[in-house]
Amino acid sequence: MSDDIRPFRIEVPQDDVDDLRARLGNARWPDDTPGDGWNRGVPPDYLRDLAHRWQSTYDWRAHEARLNGYPQFTTTIDGQQIHFLHVRSPRPDAKPLLITHGYPSSVAEFLDLIDPLVEPAAGQAFHVIAPSLPGYAFSTPLSGPGWAMGRTAAAWVELMRRLGYQRYGVHGGDVGAGVSGLVGGLDGEHVIGVHVVTDPYTAAYVATFMPGMADRLDANDPVDKLILARMDAFRREGSGYLAIQSSRPQTIGYGLVDSPLLLLAWIAEKVREWTDLPVDEDQVLTNVSLYWFTRSGMTAAHTLYEQAHSSDWGAPPSVPQAFAVFGADETTRKLVPAPPGARWSEFPRGRHFPALEAPADLATDLKEFFGPLT
């Protein structure tokens, strides 16, 4: 294994940019279909508008330059290329913070979060390390099977060792929350704390996979009744994307790599369903573009397959923990497994992508949690 860390810049060939625009311009659109709004998936009018923006007015080069405004690197760990942003703060009291995105996301999710962490107007400052998950964006090609959260967490521990950080915090949401918790369990000697974000809808979805959860809930209790309704809605109407990628990632992957319309619809649907605050459409398109230019729609799906077939959940972290719940409601404390003594924060708005929806709130919570930790 090489400890070599290599500087990296995003430089998408112009031929790839032109090819994307041509494919969008020559897209085969379906005939009008039955349905009302989002009940059967992404409405044609919505996708036409977003695809037109991606083809004609969205400026990839401007967003590529914004990403390249942050120092980026690659290294090889356990046979896998790992891409990461490493943005150091000028503040002498800055603490290293490893932040991990989830699905269907990328490091582009953190573009409005990094600066308030690196050079905050007040409060704790951080050196931010933001890797691309294996199989996502420039952490490709995927080296082989087995890249579930446990193996990723071990790679993150090695990454922080290579960077020379003896004490560091970890943060994540979605898949990144799982990885962050596993890092805390693997490397408690060096991790000062684990901070994760979630929302009650995501928590209800996770609950559908917990054996016996439905049996432990009382259908006559108003809060339990709401949880059961959300679990049922996820099983009936919201789990299709996960079922496909957890069972047939190769098959859906051909379309995600070859069709920009499918990739755009696949990701935009989740952003729309899993947010309740406005998000910048160009930032969404930057995220989709990273999947497109790196052909990582298929490889990201393969990692979801790996996790669905993995039994490696590691040891729970023994370090301080914090839970930030966005869109918190009466179901939150029953669904989110916060251990005794963990920091608990509730935010009334925002949901699955708080770094996109409410970066200021998230930055404040991170500063308040990690500030006293050493």
Known catalytic residues? 174, 305, 352
Tokens 């004609």 belong to residue: 56
Burial per residue of 287-310, b for 16 or more beta-carbon CB atoms within 10 angstroms, e otherwise: bbbbbbbbebbbbbbbbbbbbeee
Specify whether the CB–CB gap between 271 and 353 falls below 8 A: yes
In this structure, what DSSP letter does residue 248 have? -
**Residue 184 corresponds to which amino acid?**
G
Q: Measuring CA to CA, how many Å separate 270 from each of 37, 51, 181, 223, 277? A: 15, 16, 24, 25, 14
User: Within its chain, how far is the Cα of 296 from the centroid?
Assistant: 14
Residues in the chain: 374
Q: Which two tokens stand for residue 257?
A: 């790599």
Distance CA(27)–CA(315), nearest Å, equals 48
Distance CA(30)–CA(52), nearest Å, equals 16
Distance CA(214)–CA(167), nearest Å, equals 40
Q: Which of 99, 82, 97, 93 is nearest to 4 (CA)?
A: 82
Q: Measuring CA to CA, how many Å separate 155 from each of 16, 73, 77, 87? A: 31, 15, 6, 19
Contacts of 3 (CB under 8 A, 6+ apart): 75, 162
Specify whether the CB–CB gap between 146 and 75 falls below 8 A: no
Specify whether the CB–CB gap between 267 and 353 falls below 8 A: no
What torsion, rounded to 10 degrees, do the Cα atoms 353, 358, 364, 367 define? 30
**Residue 100 corresponds to which amino acid?**
T
Q: Which two tokens stand for residue 71?
A: 């120092």
